[in-house]
Amino acid sequence: MLTVVSDTHATDSHRLRGRTLRAVRDAELVIHAGDFMAEPVLDAFVDEAETLRGVYGNNDDAGIRERLPAARTVEYGGVRFAVTHTRRGGDTALALFGRERDADAVIFGHSHQPRFDATGPLALLNPGSHAEPRGYRAAHAELEPEGDGLRGRLCTPDDDVFERFRIDPK
């Protein structure tokens, strides 16, 4: 399983709980789309995840920026993801960023709003924030191989699955 989280906004812990904590521990791969905030938070994720691939966000400290890139490309289950925290220009800029990286989908954070959108040229996935939802639901994303692509779901730490989706390679 691939677990996707973002926007932890903490200074001393990963703030994982419930289903989100189990998903991070059980995942083959965890992607964090930025805004850990402080290095101890990144270290806490490294301790929990089998494999962590993250990017830094606009609120991350210098230590995180030294350890993580602003953007990266990650492959899982035959699907290629372009990962960033945010891009000025909204969905259009995110899709262009994904195309530049020859991606099948884009993972991003920043807004704290969990959503999946496959209406544009590339699928866009924001897992929301598991710890600082800011008026939205606390959430993360879980993806599992199915056929040639991935089936996914947006979930709350309290075990509510509120959206299901699918991502196929181009």
- pLDDT tens, residue by residue, 83-112: 999 999 999 999 999 999 999 999 999 999
Spell out the domains of the chain, with CATH numbers in brackets.
Answer: 2-167 (3.60.21.10)
63: closest CA among 43, 84, 83?
43
24: closest CA among 106, 138, 130, 152?
130
- What is d(CA 7, CA 122) in angstroms, rounded to the nearest whole number? 22
Mean pLDDT score of the chain: 97
- What is d(CA 39, CA 2) in angstroms, rounded to the nearest whole number? 23
CB distance 16 to 155 below 8 Å = no
User: What local confidence, expressed as pLDDT, does residue 170 receive?
Assistant: 85
Q: Give the tens place of pLDDT for each residue, 132-167.
A: 999 999 999 999 999 999 999 999 999 999 999 999
- What is d(CA 101, CA 113) in angstroms, rounded to the nearest whole number? 24
